[in-house]
Amino acid sequence: MAAGPDTGPWERAGLYDPGDANADERRALLEYLTARGATIEQMVEAHKQGSLPAVASDLVTRGKNTLLPVTEVSARSGMSLERVLRVLVASGLPVEADSMVPEKSIELLSVFQMGSELMGDEAILAFTRVLGAAAIQIAEAAVALFYSELGPGTGREGGDELTRAKIGEAATLTFTAVPEVLTQMVMDQFERAQRRALMARGWDSEIHPDTEVVALGFVDLVGSTAWAQGWSCATSPWRSPGSSRPRGRRRSVTAGASSR
């Protein structure tokens, strides 16, 4: 029979106690995480936070982005450090001059530079803030979805540590497909926005560039349209006795299909 893994390092790190009632459950989890490349340091840090099973999820995304000092990113992008920090903060990253940032930030900065050359820094910074806010909302929604459907107290979180680790890992793997799907969704909506803009404004339009064309629609949720259609001065509760005019301020009522 093959010998099991050496549990000594786990015991010394405070991750495993062979005398504990749940020793078998913990050992199964540690074996699973170690086989996937988790280090003792990673597991100890997660254990301190009471989230050891979550290491399986972290392993799905951790290491995908090489981290570099933001000063190196600045040098490689050809941008000043101050400008790089402005762009990254606008994109939703809380960075400072001594921060480590993803190497892929260089690509983000390159695209920012392209847009800036066309429209200027301030305009593209404003657009970058929109992108950053959207990214934050999507990420937060994904995490909230997991905890509401598969998190602690849902009854679906798994009965042991290894099961919880596998559920979190599967959910994170599923999320890694979102960026590709989102790319297609954004391009679809961009094409729709282009068509709407051309129909509303076009190149020959006399509309001033600072004017925004919008359409307003009203949905009658309480049946007021039908009420208004049957309204008359003769039956108005505001009508004074012996008078053909309602009491108080004159009221204007719009009825018909155009008011819906």
Per-residue pLDDT tens digits for 217-251: 888 888 888 877 777 766 666 555 555 555 444 44
Count of CB atoms within 10 A of residue 227's CB? Answer: 12
The string of pLDDT tens digits covering residues 149-193 is 999 899 999 999 999 999 999 999 999 999 999 999 999 999 999
Please determine, for residue 10, whether its predicted confidence score (pLDDT) is greater than 70: yes
pLDDT band (50, 70, 90) for residue 202? low
Query: Is there a contact between 28 and 136 (Cβ–Cβ < 8 Å)?
Result: no
| pLDDT of amino acid 64 | 77
**87 shares its domain with 49:** no
pTM of the model: 0.73
**182 shares its domain with 96:** yes
3-state secondary structure of 111: helix
3-state secondary structure of 237: coil
What is the number of structural domains in the chain?
A: 2
**99 shares its domain with 13:** no
- The answer to whether position 133 is within a domain reads yes
Burial degree of 73 (CB within 10 A; 0-12, 13-18, 19+): buried
What is the mean predicted confidence (pLDDT) over 195-206?
74
Query: Is there a contact between 59 and 35 (Cβ–Cβ < 8 Å)?
Result: no
| pLDDT of amino acid 196 | 86
**32 shares its domain with 100:** no
| pLDDT of amino acid 251 | 45
Closest CA to 111 of 88, 94, 93: 88
**45 shares its domain with 78:** no
| pLDDT of amino acid 16 | 96
What number of CA atoms fall less than 13 Å from residue 10's CA on the CB side?
A: 20
The string of pLDDT tens digits covering residues 27-77 is 999 999 999 999 999 999 999 999 999 999 999 988 778 899 999 999 999
**47 shares its domain with 166:** no
**Domain extent at residue 17:** 8-53
**151 shares its domain with 32:** no
- The answer to whether position 189 is within a domain reads yes
| pLDDT of amino acid 3 | 57
- The answer to whether position 134 is within a domain reads yes
Chosen domain end from 181, 200, 219: 200
> Helix and strand tally (H, E) in the chain?
11, 2
**121 shares its domain with 190:** yes
What is the mean predicted confidence (pLDDT) over 109-117?
97
The DSSP secondary-structure symbol of 159 reads S
**74 shares its domain with 159:** yes
**13 shares its domain with 126:** no
Query: Is there a contact between 238 and 246 (Cβ–Cβ < 8 Å)?
Result: yes
- Interatomic CA distance for residues 56 and 170, integer angstroms: 9
- Interatomic CA distance for residues 59 and 202, integer angstroms: 49
Chosen domain end from 178, 200, 222: 200
3-state secondary structure of 219: coil
Please determine, for residue 1, whether its predicted confidence score (pLDDT) is greater than 50: no
- The answer to whether position 158 is within a domain reads yes
pLDDT band (50, 70, 90) for residue 94? very high
The DSSP secondary-structure symbol of 208 reads -
pLDDT band (50, 70, 90) for residue 216? confident
Q: What share of the chain is helix, strand, coil (3-state, %, to 5)?
A: 60, 5, 40
- The answer to whether position 118 is within a domain reads yes
Q: What percent of the chain has pLDDT above 90? A: 69
**36 shares its domain with 76:** no
Closest CA to 86 of 56, 53, 116, 48: 116
**75 shares its domain with 195:** yes
Burial degree of 257 (CB within 10 A; 0-12, 13-18, 19+): exposed
